[in-house]
């Protein structure tokens, strides 16, 4: 699983997957759409219609503690929304 790091399983993505047959994944920052399409097809055994990608930069966060003011940054990541062919589905809960 070098290209696909993990699936996005939230209430919003679950609703989108049921309504529009689209699934979200956190992917490698250097992966392109063709590599993502091939990886999803191989791992889950489904036919992919299209892939949309988004790059998210890390946000700066700060908090006040007893030791003083601490600042940090969250990690940057790339998200891919994959639309499957008609009649195809991915079941993330089958291995539980």
Indicate whether 18 belongs to any domain. yes
Report whether pLDDT(64) > 70. Answer: yes
pLDDT at 2: 87
Q: Which of 21, 16, 27 is nearest to 55 (CA)?
A: 27
From residue 27, alpha-carbon distances to 38, 61, 85 in Å are 13, 23, 20
Indicate whether 96 belongs to any domain. no
- Tally the domains of the chain: 1
What average pLDDT is seen over the chain? 92
Q: Residue 28: which CATH number?
A: 3.30.70.330
pLDDT band at 48 (very low <50, low <70, confident <90, very high): very high
Q: How far apart are CA 64 and CA 85, in angstroms?
A: 49
Rounded to 5 degrees, φ, ψ at 13 are: -70, -35
Rounded to 5 degrees, φ, ψ at 71 are: -115, 150
């Amino acid at each position: 699983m070098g290209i696909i790091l993990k699936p996005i399983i939230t209430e919003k993505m679950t609703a989108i997957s049921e309504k529009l047959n689209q699934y979200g994944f956190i992917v490698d920052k250097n992966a392109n759409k063709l590599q993502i399409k091939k990886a999803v097809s191989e791992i889950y055994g489904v036919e992919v219609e299209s892939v949309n990608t988004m790059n998210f930069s890390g946000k700066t966060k700060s908090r006040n503690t007893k030791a003083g003011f601490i600042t940090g940054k969250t990690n940057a990541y790339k998200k891919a929304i994959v639309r499957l062919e008609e009649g195809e589905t991915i079941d993330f809960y089958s291995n539980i």
